[in-house]
Chains A and B, each alone.
Chain A
Amino acid sequence: MKPVLNVILTHQPASAVAAMVAWWKKCVPPESILLACGGTRADFEAIPHAAKVFIDDPRLRTRDHQREQQSYGSVFREVAAWRGTPDYAHIHFAEYDHLPLVEDLNQRQLALLAEEHADVLGFHLRRVDATNCVHYLAHAAEPAFEDFWRKVTCRADPRVVLSMIATGSFWTRAAFEAVAATPEPHPMYVEIFPPTLAHHLGYRLRDYGPQTRFVRHLGDRVSEIEPARQSGAWTLHPVKSRWG
């Protein structure tokens, strides 16, 4: 089996990142961890983990993520361009507050990907076009939004728009690099652009199914780690205060 590249997006200081990486090493091979650092340059330099890339992009460092259309485009491009472990075949992308809970996480993800015959697994994956999804409606007000999908799609229906939570996605390398290679024509929100683009490039996306209940947008589930693990969780999100 070719290795999985485990990409962790963080903006935290070196001490917190060290604690996070130590936890991750119990769940995935240490050499498979690549840190994508969106914090300060000083924090980045102080992180002892060798496999790391610095993301210097104001589209990542938003405060009102939805209204400022936060983007992970630069993260995807830096990861796709990284040459530290060239022979990986899949990418697991997680935010710093998305905690892995099982020792064979990547094997479980690969098994689910194969079972679903999918190219991408995502949490809370859903179709949102023509609905009251507020992120969709904000994009639908921009005429270039629908035009873009008509230009890039290989699908019969260019109107399909998908959404998924940005953290915890699992990709084949081909799907990830195809999305990384396609720039946003205008700012699009991170929960809309990657899944919708992957779909229109012809890749098959599926939801994590029962695992989705262990991933939600808001809160701090630091007190739920053990109960979640006992309930069968592979991962838990968000766990914000675990690393100090």
Chain B
Amino acid sequence: MSFLARTVRRLVIALARSVGSKVVNAETGEVIGRAFVIPWRGRIAVIGLDAEVKPVFLPQTRMTYWKQDIGFVLHSPPNFPHEARPQRHPHPPAR
């Protein structure tokens, strides 16, 4: 990437993180960060967000046929149980 392209990218990211749309955790209301969120060719581009989020359609307390919202949520920290099948240890300790 050329120096000019790198500089423009840095500038756009800095702008997105300072004046972009607030991205809020839809489950907690916590502000996750800021980004440019732009509809583009049938998709939504998220530019400059410095967090790993999952987009979801949000539950609605009032049923509306004309509007639905997409929001962002975070995964919970991994806390899965141990479920490994017992294996024969390839190197059993010396007795």
Instruction: Given the known inter-chain contacts A86-B94, A87-B93, A154-B85, please indicate yes or no for A131 contacting B79, CB distance below 8 A.
Output: no
Interface stretch (choices A67-75, A186-194, A204-212): A204-212
Chain A, residues 176-213, CB within 8 Å of chain B (1/0): the string is: 01100000000000000000000101111111000000
Let me know if B13 is at the binding interface, CB within 8 A.
Answer: no
Interface stretch (choices A9-17, A22-30, A53-61, A122-130): A122-130
Let me know if A236 is at the binding interface, CB within 8 A.
Answer: no
Instruction: Please tell me if the beta carbons of B78 and A162 are within 8 angstroms of each other in the complex.
Output: yes
Looking at the complex, which one of B54, B77, B83 makes contact with A155 (CB distance below 8 Å)?
B83
Instruction: Please tell me if the beta carbons of A178 and B84 are within 8 angstroms of each other in the complex.
Output: yes
Interface residues on chain B, number (Cβ under 8 Å) = 22
Looking at the complex, which one of A2, A118, A128, A154 makes contact with B75 (CB distance below 8 Å)?
A128
Let me know if A223 is at the binding interface, CB within 8 A.
Answer: no
Give the docked Cα–Cα distance between A52 and B93 (Å): 22
Number of A-B contacts (CB under 8 A): 67
Instruction: Please tell me if the beta carbons of B83 and A202 are within 8 angstroms of each other in the complex.
Output: yes
Interface residues on chain A, number (Cβ under 8 Å) = 33
Shortest distance between the CB of A134 and any CB in chain B (Å): 9
**Main SS of the interface on chain A?**
loop
Chain B, residues 34-77, CB within 8 Å of chain A (1/0): the string is: 00000000000010010011100000000000000000000111
Instruction: Please tell me if the beta carbons of A126 and B77 are within 8 angstroms of each other in the complex.
Output: yes
Instruction: Please tell me if the beta carbons of A131 and B75 are within 8 angstroms of each other in the complex.
Output: yes
Instruction: Please tell me if the beta carbons of B80 and A205 are within 8 angstroms of each other in the complex.
Output: yes
Let me know if B87 is at the binding interface, CB within 8 A.
Answer: yes
Instruction: Please tell me if the beta carbons of A127 and B76 are within 8 angstroms of each other in the complex.
Output: yes
Instruction: Please tell me if the beta carbons of A202 and B78 are within 8 angstroms of each other in the complex.
Output: no
Instruction: Please tell me if the beta carbons of B84 and A199 are within 8 angstroms of each other in the complex.
Output: no
Instruction: Please tell me if the beta carbons of B54 and A131 are within 8 angstroms of each other in the complex.
Output: yes
Chain A, residues 66-106, CB within 8 Å of chain B (1/0): the string is: 00000000000000000000110100000000000000000
Shortest distance between the CB of B4 and any CB in chain A (Å): 20
User: Which A-B residue pairs are the 7 nearest by beta carbons?
Assistant: A202-B84, A127-B75, A202-B83, A204-B82, A131-B52, A133-B52, A131-B54
